[in-house]
Amino acid sequence: MARLVVLTSAALADGFRLAGPATHVARPGPDAARAVRSLADEGDVGLLLVTADLWSSLEVRLRGSLERLPRPIVQVIPAGAVMDVTTRRQLLGEMLQRAIGYRVELAGTRAPRAAAEEAGR
């Protein structure tokens, strides 16, 4: 059975651990590169979530090779709270596209501020 693994910074690790997946901590740069290579080479990892702060610290060439792997699926996730509803939907849509191979447009209620502005027009 494939495992879910998270690679994150020390500040966010406890939250992921409480949620249940195997969680590994790294610092941006060479430490993150070593960790992500090692985790990607483990045969039982099916989905490797990497926080955006660590992902952006990796060399472009390494990121490209990780994105082309058939397994594990390497997915970048936000490294904190995303407050903007549009950005949140966009990030979720991009994650779904990477995971399933199809672009999914998410519909839903508008942000309270946007709805209020439109009602005032």
Query: Across the strands, what pairs with 24?
Result: 7
pLDDT tens sequence for the chain (121 residues): 889 999 999 999 998 999 999 999 999 999 999 999 999 999 999 999 999 999 999 999 999 999 999 999 999 988 776 566 666 677 777 777 766 777 777 666 555 555 555 555 5
User: What pLDDT does 97 receive?
Assistant: 73
Ordered structural domains, the chain, with CATH: 1-79 (3.40.50.10580), 81-121 (no CATH)
- Full 3-state SS string of 41-100: HCCCEEEEEEEHHHHCCCCHHHHHHHHCCCCCEEEEECCCCCCCHHHHHHHHHHHHHHHH
Nearest to 66 by CA among 90, 43, 44, 50: 50
Residue 24's contacts (CB-CB under 8 Å, 6 or more residues apart) are: 5, 6, 7, 8, 35, 39
Closest C-alpha among 25, 20, 26, 27 to residue 4: 20
**Burial profile 87-107: b = 16 or more Cβ within 10 angstroms, e = fewer:** eebebeeebbeeeeeeeeeee
Q: Tell me what pLDDT residue 71 has.
A: 92
Verdict on whether the full-model pTM lies above 0.75: no
